[in-house]
Structure 1
Amino acid sequence: MKFVSRVFPALIIGFCSMQLSWADQDASADKVKPIVKVNEGKLQGTYSEKDGLYKFLGIPYAKAPVGKLRFKAPVPAEHWAGVKDTTKFGPVSAQAFDEHEGTMEEFGGDLTNEDSLSLNIWTPNLKEKLPVMVWLHGGGNAHSSARVPGYHGDMIARRGNVVFVSLNYRLGIFGFIDMSLIGGPEYAGSVNNGVRDQMLALKWVRDNIARFGGDPDNITAFGESSGASDLSAMLGTGQAKTLFDKVILQSGSAFLTRSPKSSARMNRGFFERMGVTSIDQIKDLPASVLIEKQEEALKGMLETDVDLLFQPTMDSVVVKDFPLDAIRRGDTKDINMLVGTTKNELMLYTEYDPQLLDRQPEDLPELQVLPWVAREAVSSIYKWNRPDMKPGQVSMDIYSDFAFRIPAIRMAEAQSANAQNAWMYRFDWPIPGSELGAPHGSELAFLFGRMDDVQAKVKGATSVAPSWTQLSENIQDIWTAFARTGRPIANLKDPHERDVLATLEPYSESSRSTLLLNTPLEVESDPAWLERFIYSSMPFNGYFDEDELAESE
């Protein structure tokens, strides 16, 4: 009887504890006011019956990088008491306004808030173990935000049954300028602070995403333009495998990682134009004043320097090696890679500057770093292979390949030398009624399912064509299949396109199998092979350094 008198109360207490534990779990999954406990404390989000998704917005992953933390490495967010409201987006990172990236309303009305290091989560289920996709927005590392509607993750999360994460990181002078040049060793690594922010956010995801129904052992990082360039730079940090398992690089590559010499020259020129020689002159200035000084300094810089100033740098502090060298060495062989571009990348910028179409191919500034013979060969072959194009359009195709497609191919080649897990795509859908073709960023509206944005690009369109919707669904299915399995082979709705996609092979120098995203979808071996071939002997070593290219003169 003593045994029963001792054990029975213990069983009752244990059963009650289990009931309380289950109740706590049920409360955390309350669809009206879902609460999730992360390492730093509790978060309250929202649930939409219509979308079938939970949303947690504006989750801080780092302390505000202000005061003594300004221009320094990010510091993880502190613990908080109670339940933090995460039903609204956090502020955008401090930046100059660019109408091409969004409206002031979409940016939340404030472009000077430095307390912006937050992330957002869309998830179909809080208790499953779903693939995780972490999005890094583009904008030249100077503009944009995860909060703009074009980057909301609801469509991808719902259709792909994945957990979607997006994040803000420091931009421009706050995240990609080398303050050690005017502030000393205390600011070492500041030239890559934006990349540091992204890495800290990815670590937060790895540590906490299981509470949102995500699989911490199946994380895909994906980004476009500068977002992809930053992810490429991470491949040279020695930490990439601890942050993500797969990577999708859209129109951004290791080629844009600057050498120390090139970066120092650009940064010194930037400080000279700002009239700054000491960190004490700027460290306490309001964000609005710093942004004004940044924009004024940019006006006096070379066009190519402005394009590259805020790109990541091989600084030996954060990015310890040139990414392409790390890939060639096999450091990334366990990271599945999907890499690609749009067909007519640089045509986008002719909308902003029509005078670009007046440039003759042989006079392109970007080609002046090549030997004379190489310049003539590139110019002649492109013109010969595009007899119906205007000279300016030929020039934009040359620059598109020089800055985007060839560097993407070099990354796929390097990865395929060590593992059969590199895949190549090209987005070919031409905007109807436009001479832009398939310009930079034109795949994004399809990827995020923003069909109204697609329609807005097509002059005279009064509705969304079914083929556009099908292309959008195909891209979402392919991207989420890659996140799930490491292979971009999806069970597409159309039987013919499903069969075509099944023929896609991992990229290799023998097959050069490439997925062409268009209506209909195609798979081709070595598209635009002649243009690729003429670059094959040119010394692209995976980072942008005009001195390196000029050495072959």
Structure 2
Amino acid sequence: MTDPHAAPAAPTAHTSDGVLRGTRTDGTAALFAGIPFAAPPVGPLRLRPPRPPTPWEGVREATQFPAGPAQRSTDGLGGGDGPGGKETSEDCLYLNVWTPDPDGRRPVLVWIFGGGFELGTASPPSTDGAALSRLTGAVVVAPNYRVGALGWLHPAGPDAEQWADSANLGLQDQTAALHWVRDNIAAFGGDPDNITVAGNSAGAFSIGALLARPAARGTFHKAILHSGSIGRLYPPDLAAGLTENLLAEVGAENLSELQAAPLDRIITAQHAVTEQDFGVRNLPGGRAWGLVHDGTVITEDPAEAIAAGAAAGIPLLIGANRDEFRTFQYMYGNESYHHPADEQALLAEMELAGVQHPRDLLTAYRAHHQPPHPPTERLTDQPTEKLTEQSDEQSVELSDLRTLFLTDAVYRRRAIRLARIQTAAGGSAHTYLFSAEPLGPPYGAFHGCELLYAFDQLGSLQIDTPANRAVRDTLTGAWSAFLTHAAPGWPAYTPDHAPSTRQIGANPPFIDEPPPYLSPW
């Protein structure tokens, strides 16, 4: 006779590589952690495309979260070995599955984490799939992928031809994970015919490329892109120059020597050779790790491919935060590079971004925005040699204006451009602007703040108020509806009709995006 008081048996799942045993988390909900979806990219497989994992016999325990991908530790973005103090490793190609019921058949959400293509992990606390699964009712899968030079290096140097298929390795990792999900998710209670790929920041920009990648076709059916879309694509000559700088910094003559170089030397060098100004790295001519139009893995500019209908059959939900660049203004406020030397320097940056009438745009920003400043000590308490002759007040104003401009240039306008070309190609796109201020007006709706709601971190941050819970439920409710019905609960984006971008966390509930005052662009 079965003991009614006995703990439920540990759940198991039969995959194409072997049997897994996970853990019960709450009722019928279960976690399967640290599942290999590719062979460890170490030794001779460093800087090589992902290979299939080695099958196992018997039952493999899937109860421990995997290390995050190898990356640098920073005071501002993480602690210990990586974000949140979590262990990191080159042996990182594993994924986690959170399922409400392993015997069900639920929508699947594959979460691609962000982190500027240099940081991040698929494991808690950075990625809380348990909360996301509970709030959306979906089976949530979060894969790791290689970051920094190990994931986004463009082959260059004297032996580059031998490494031609090693471009955009992070994107190849993501594609391999999506294939694994399509082939195995039914064993975890997921519906293989209803898979949505979702992500924020670098994860969302990656999805913009996955939408146009033939190798990823058929592995997902819908996409949610938050704080990332299209437009962050480096040309191969610029990316090759970055790789050559990396080789020199590491002291390697070619990629074969880089494959054998000490990991810590690569991690240190990959940061030293990139542009540190987050605005500059996201505008034409910027230098950082990320998606490269290499011609082998990314054969066509994703924007052009989507405009030609490559994603017409994939409904899109596209979001951005109202004050995206407030994050970087705060984090790097003590650095001179976030402060334009003068107004002319800011106008030149606007022109570089394609603004037709930069002075008119600057006037429009001044007329329509009086942004609250992040803590002044982070903005103005700088060494004297880093300040120009302008007053602190002028410096703060120019910094605020640059923050407004970069928010639009890198995130909001690109999001709407994706919606427009998807719609023009015959596809479906819904848009929203996230405007909640979880840490108050000085920080606004900063880059990444939506994760405080999606991962239900309100209690741990002591902001678990009725208003914030309502924002959480609106955001995750929209995601849940989109996962199930391909519609979040409001009309699709229509650029030539009434306001159709949903605003979450502020009024009015629907707005024009981009705002009409940006017409000088």
TM-score range relative to shorter protein: 0.7 to 0.9
Q: Are 1:45 and 2:22 counterparts?
A: yes
Partner of 1:435: 442
Which runs of structure 2 are paired with 1:27-426 in the superposition (5 Å)?
31-49=8-26, 52-104=28-80, 113-298=89-274, 304-305=280-281, 308-354=287-333, 355=336, 358-359=339-340, 360=342, 362-364=344-346, 366-369=349-352, 374-386=357-369, 390-426=397-433
> 2:476 maps to what in 1?
476
Per-residue deviation, 1:110: 6.6
The answer as to whether partners of 1:123 and 1:157 remain within 8 angstroms in 2 is yes
Letter matched to residue 391 of structure 1:
L
Please state how far the C-alpha of 1:182 moved relative to its aligned partner: 4.6
Deviation at 1:301, TM superposition (A): 9.6
Which amino acid in the other structure matches residue 472 of structure 1?
R
Contact 2:128 2:455 survives alignment (8 Å): yes
Give the SS at the match of 1:188: helix
Range moving further from structure 2, 211-220 or 377-386? 377-386
Q: Is the 8 A contact 1:362 1:379 kept in 2?
A: no
Mean Cα deviation higher: 69-78 or 375-384: 375-384
Deviates more, 1:424-433 or 1:264-273: 264-273
Which of the two has greater helix per residue?
1
Question: 8 Å contact 1:241–1:335 — kept in the other structure?
Answer: no
Pair 231,343 (structure 1): closer, same or farther in 2 beyond 3 Å:
same
Structure 1: how far apart are the matches of 2:218 and 2:420? Answer: 23
Match of 1:21 in 2: none
Correspondent of 2:502 among 515, 518, 525: 515
How far is the alpha carbon of 1:105 from its aligned partner? 7.7
Task: Report the residue type matching 1:219 in the other structure.
Answer: I
**Matched residue SS, 2:476:** helix
Shift of 1:432: 5.1
* TM-score normalised according to structure 1 size: 0.81
Q: Is the 8 A contact 1:92 1:108 kept in 2?
A: no
Pairwise CA RMSD = 2.5
Alignment check: 8 A CA contact 1:91 1:108 kept:
no
Alpha-carbon shift at residue 150 of structure 1 (Å)? 3.7
Structure 2 stretches lacking a partner, 5+ long? 1-6, 373-396
Structure-2 change in CA distance of 1:223 and 1:361 (3 Å): farther
CA-CA distance at 1:69 after TM superposition = 1.1
Write the letter of the residue equivalent to 2:403: M
Q: Deviations over 1:369-394 (max 9, x none)?
A: 25796322322222232257733212
CA distance in 2: counterparts of 1:109 and 1:400, whole angstroms = 29
Shift of 1:31: 3.8
TM-score normalised per structure 2: 0.86
1:495-514 aligned at under 5 Å gives the runs 504-511=490-497, 513-514=500-501
Q: Deviations over 1:284-327 (max 9, x none)?
A: 12322221232333479997349752111121211111011011
**Deviation of 1:274 (Å):** 4.2
Distance in 1 (CA, whole Å) between partners of 2:406 and 2:85 is 35
Change (3 A) 1:157 1:302: closer
Equivalent residue number for residue 495 of structure 1:
none
| Counterpart AA for 2:214 | G
Partners of 1:193 and 1:286 in 2: CA distance: 19
> Greater CA radius of gyration, 1 or 2?
1
5+ unaligned residues in a row in structure 1: which ranges? 1-29, 456-462, 490-503, 536-553
Contact conserved, 1:516 with 1:523, CA < 8 A, in 2?
yes
Q: Is the 8 A contact 2:168 2:291 kept in 1?
A: yes
Other structure's SS at 1:221 match? strand
Tell me the distance in 2 between the aligned counterparts of 1:436 and 1:357.
16
Report which stretch shifted further, 371-380 or 90-99: 371-380
Conservation of the 8 A alpha-carbon contact between 2:39 and 2:54: yes
CA distance in 2, matches of 1:339, 1:261: 30
SS in 2 for 1:119: strand
Partners of 2:325 and 2:403 within 8 A in 1: yes
Distance 2:76 2:276 in 1: 22
Q: Give the partner amino acid of 1:392.
A: S
